[in-house]
Amino acid sequence: MTDRTLPDPILGSRFIEALSLAVDLHSRQARKGSGVPYLGHLLGVCGLVIDAGGSEDEVIAALLHDAVEDQGGAATLELIRTQFGSNVSAIVEACSDTDVLPKPPWRARKEAYVEHLRTAPTSVLRVSLADKLNNLRAIVRDYGEVGEALWARFDPDADHLWYYGSLLEVFEERFPVPMTMELRETYDRLLQLIRGS
């Protein structure tokens, strides 16, 4: 037993509404190459933000962080703003690397995203970090199963080692929290797998 006083739960009806919207937007979507329901990623990111002490707005943004990029662009962002407020929509927008289709070239999008994180608010860093950690965990797991064939799932111009290395530089400088340390450990594990050690 502990005498530590736990905070009141922070998640209320807005969270339930966000969960419902995430299901509506993403229930037919699967992770690249695996067939795993995409909602697993969204719930994983949400869980990481909750565990990191994120606010209700951050938790809602975690559930909806890919909605603009993958499910409707600017119109979806406006829906999020109307339903959940400008703070949530600002976090979602800042976690999106584009809201247009077809998407601009991969490298240019990722360079701009990394650069914008250098000045992004803490709320954006927390949600973005949770997203990147959840994604990198999946990459490490899948690389362990299928090896180099994993990279065929992604944009042919993608350079994931450069991207996650660049993200780490920003997170380690601006947001040195336990989740950042886990991102570093996961990245180092991927390098070990690729090198065969």
Assign residue 124 the CATH number of its domain.
1.10.3210.10
User: pLDDT below 50 — which residues of the chain?
Assistant: 1-4, 6
Rg (the chain; Cα; Å) = 17
Tell me the residue range of the domain where 159 lies: 13-195
Residue-level pLDDT at 3: 45
**pLDDT value for 7:** 53
Q: Would you say residue 95 lies in a domain?
A: yes
DSSP letter at 29? -
Instruction: Report the number of distinct structural domains present in the chain.
Output: 1
3 in a domain, yes or no? no
Judge whether 8 lies within some domain.
no
3-state secondary structure the chain: CCCCCCCCCCCCHHHHHHHHHHHHHHCCCECCCCCCECHHHHHHHHHHHHHCCCCHHHHHHHHHCCHHHHCCHHHHHHHHHHHHCHHHHHHHHHCCCCCCCCCCCHHHHHHHHHHHHCCCCHHHHHHHHHHHHHHHHHHHHHHHHHHHHHHHHCCCCCCHHHHHHHHHHHHHHHCCCHHHHHHHHHHHHHHHHHHCC
State pLDDT tens for residues 118-143. 999 999 999 999 999 999 999 999 99
Asked whether residue 111 is assigned to any structural domain, the reply reads yes
Position 82 in a domain? yes
- Specify if 159 maps to a domain: yes
Q: Could you tell me the pTM of the whole model?
A: 0.93
Give a yes or no: residue 76 inside a domain. yes
- Of 27, 18, 11, which Cα lies nearest the Cα of 61? 18
- From the list 11, 24, 63, 57, the residue with the least C-alpha distance to 41 is 63
Q: Is 37 helix (H, G, I), strand (E, B) or coil?
A: strand
What's the maximum distance between 2 C-alpha atoms anywhere in the chain? 55
CA distance 180 to 174: 10
Q: Which pLDDT value is given to residue 70?
A: 86
Is residue 72 included in any domain, yes or no?
Answer: yes
> For position 2, what pLDDT does the model report?
42
